[in-house]
Chains A and B, each alone.
Chain A
Amino acid sequence: MAKTTSKKTLNWIGTYLVWIVATLVVIIPIYWMFIVSARSRVEMFGAPSLIQTTFFAENYTKPLLNPTFQRYMINSVIIATSNAVLVAVLALIATYALSRWRLPGADNIFFWTITNRMAPPAAFLLPLFLMYTRIFKFGEWTLFDTRLGLILLYCVFNLPFAIWLMKGIMDGIPKELDEAAMVDGAGTWSILLRIIAPLSAPGLAITAILSWVFAWNEYLFAASLTSVEARTITTGLAEFVTVTGTNWGEMAAVAMLALLPALLFLSFVQKYIVMGLTFGAVKE
C-alpha cells in the first residue's frame, strides 16, 4: 500500500515538474520581451537579468505618439473589427442556408470553402497583387493599399473555419423551433433574427474573436498589398527590423502591443483555438 502511494506521489511530482518547465518555456520569452521593452539602450547590454525595477516609458510613448504608427494601429483595429463582423454575419447566414435548406451540391460547397484555407498564401501574393492593382481598378482608384482590400481578403482565411464552427452550432439548434415559429406566422428573416441569431450568439462571439485575432496577426498580405495608407501594426513591427534595425527597446514595445490581443482574448477562446485551427476536424 505504502509503495503505491509513494509511486503516486512521484508521478505527481514528475507531472508538475514537466508542466512547470513547459509553462516557463512559454512565459520567459514573453517576459523577456516585456523587460526589453522597459529598458533604455544603456540598460540593455551586459549579463541578461530577469529583474527590472525601472520602466523606460519612451519605448512605448515614442511609437504611440508617432502619427504614422498611430495610423497603423487604427488601420489594424478597423480592418480586424470589420473583418470579424463581416465573417460572423456571412457565416451566420451561410450556415443557416446550409443547415436549413437542402441545396443541391451544398456538401461540395462546404468542402470547397476549406480548400481555400489550405493553399500556401505566398503562392497567391503575386496574382492578388496583380488583381488588386490592375483588375479592380476604377479610374484612379484601385483595391491596392485600401483597408477594404485586406478586409475582403482575410475572409479567405477566416470564413472556412467560421463556417465549420457555425455549422455545428446551427445543426444543434432544433428545427422544431423554426417550425413552431413558422406556424405562428414568422418569416424566414424574423426566424433568423429572433431565434437563430440569439441562440447561436455564443458561437458567433467566438467566431468573431478568433477572426479578429487572425486578422490582427496577419502579416504577409498586409505587407504586400498595401504601401502607405492601409499598413497595419504587423507591417509596422517588421519595419523596425529593416529600417531602424538596432532600436530593440522600441521594437519590443511594438511587439508587446501586437501580442496584447492574444493575451486579452486567450482565456475566452482557448477552448476553441484548436477547433479554429483545424477547421473543426478536431474538437476538444
Chain B
Amino acid sequence: MKSNRLGWGFLSPTLIILAITGFLPFLYVVYIGFFDWNIFAAQKGLVYTGANNYRRLVFDADFLRSLWYTIKFTFWAVSSELILGFALAQLLTKDFPGKTFFRIIHALPLMIAPIAVGALWRLLVIPGFGPIWYVLEEWFGIEYRIGASTSQAFITTVLMDIWHWTPFVTLTMLAGLTSVPKDPVESAMVDGANQWQVYRYITIPMMMPIILTTVFIRIMDALRIVDEVYMLTGGGPGDATRYIGLHIFRVVFPKTDYGYGSATSLLTLYFTIVFCWLLFVAISTSQKNS
C-alpha cells in the first residue's frame, strides 16, 4: 500500500547528515591514524607507518598522565553527584508547598552553557575578589590559589562538575524513585523492616536500571569534559587538570602532527567505548536479574 521508497525518502536526509558529520570522521580518523602526516614536515603528504603512531602513544607520558587525571576526576565527580543527587531526590518524593519552584531552580545549571559555567566558577575563585577565595583565605586562613596548587585546582574542577551536574542525577533519581511501586515497600514496613533495609533490599535493586543508566551517561560526559575546565583552569597549573578532551584540544590539535593526533583521538575513543561497553554489560545483567 505504502511504498518503502517514500519511507526511506523521509529518513534519508537524517541518515545522510549523520553519515557525513558522525560516521565519516570516524572512518577518516581510523585511516589517518596509520600514517605519518605533518604539513610542516620535510616530506609533505601521507607516509604509511603502520601501527607506529600507536606504539608511540602507549609510551607517551603526557597522554597517559592526562588519561589518569581524567579517570580520577570522573571517579570523584560522578560518585559525589550520585550520593548528593540520590539524597536530594529522596527529599522530593513527598509533596510540599514550593516543591515545583525548587525543582525548576535546581534544573537551571543543566541549561547553562558549559563555557559560562567555567566563567561563573572562575569569578568565584579569583584571588582578590572571588567569594570562595575570600572565605577560605580570610575566615579559615587557607591559602587558596588554583593557579598554583595542583590539588586545589583538581578539587575545584570536581566541585564545579558537582555544581553543574548533580541536578541531572537528582532528576533521574527522582524519576526512578517515583517509578518504584509502593506495595512491596509498605508490606516490608509492616513486616518490621527499617528504612535502611527497605533501601538495601527493595528500592535500590528496583531502581538499578535507572541508577546504572545515570552512571553511564554521567561517566560518558565526565570523560569528555573540556569547556568548563578550559575556562576555569586552562588545564593548569602545569598539566594537573588537563583532562583528555582538553589534552586533545590544547596539545594534540594545535600541533600539525595529524597522524599522531588521529591516533590519540582514536585511542581516546577506544577507551571511552570500552568503558561504556563494560557499563552496558553491567546494566543489562542487572536488568536480567531484576
Per the bound structure, the CA–CA distance linking A253 and B244 in Å amounts to 30
User: Which chain A residues numbered 71 to 101 have a C-beta less than 8 Å away from chain B?
Assistant: 90-91, 93-94, 96-98, 100-101
B226 with A238: CB separation less than 8 A: no
Partner of B25, one of A128, A217, A218, A241: A128
- A259 contacts across to B, CB distance below 8 A: 111-113, 116
- B123 contacts across to A, CB distance below 8 A: 29, 32-33, 36, 248, 251-252
A262 with B113: CB separation less than 8 A: yes
A277 with B217: CB separation less than 8 A: yes
Per the bound structure, the CA–CA distance linking A45 and B28 in Å amounts to 51
Partner of B113, one of A23, A216, A252: A216
A125 with B248: CB separation less than 8 A: yes
Per the bound structure, the CA–CA distance linking A101 and B265 in Å amounts to 38
A120 with B269: CB separation less than 8 A: yes
A266 with B111: CB separation less than 8 A: yes
Closest to B130 in A: A48
A124 with B25: CB separation less than 8 A: yes
Per the bound structure, the CA–CA distance linking A216 and B116 in Å amounts to 11
Which applies to chain B's interface (DSSP): helix, strand, loop or mixed? helix
Q: How many residues of B contact A (CB 8 A)?
A: 92
Query: Does B7 have its Cβ within 8 Å of any Cβ on chain A?
Result: yes
If A126-B258, A241-B231 touch, does A217 touch B113 (CB 8 Å cutoff)? yes
A107-131: contact bitstring with B at CB < 8 Å (1 yes, 0 no)?
Answer: 0010011001011111111111111
- Chain A min CB distance to B63 (Å): 13
A120 with B128: CB separation less than 8 A: no
Q: How many residues of A contact B (CB 8 A)?
A: 91
Per the bound structure, the CA–CA distance linking A153 and B18 in Å amounts to 9
A33 with B113: CB separation less than 8 A: no
Closest to A160 in B: B18
B25-61: contact bitstring with A at CB < 8 Å (1 yes, 0 no)?
Answer: 1101100100000000000000000000000000000
Query: Does B119 have its Cβ within 8 Å of any Cβ on chain A?
Result: yes
A141-164: contact bitstring with B at CB < 8 Å (1 yes, 0 no)?
Answer: 000000000001101100100010
B162-178: contact bitstring with A at CB < 8 Å (1 yes, 0 no)?
Answer: 01000110011011100
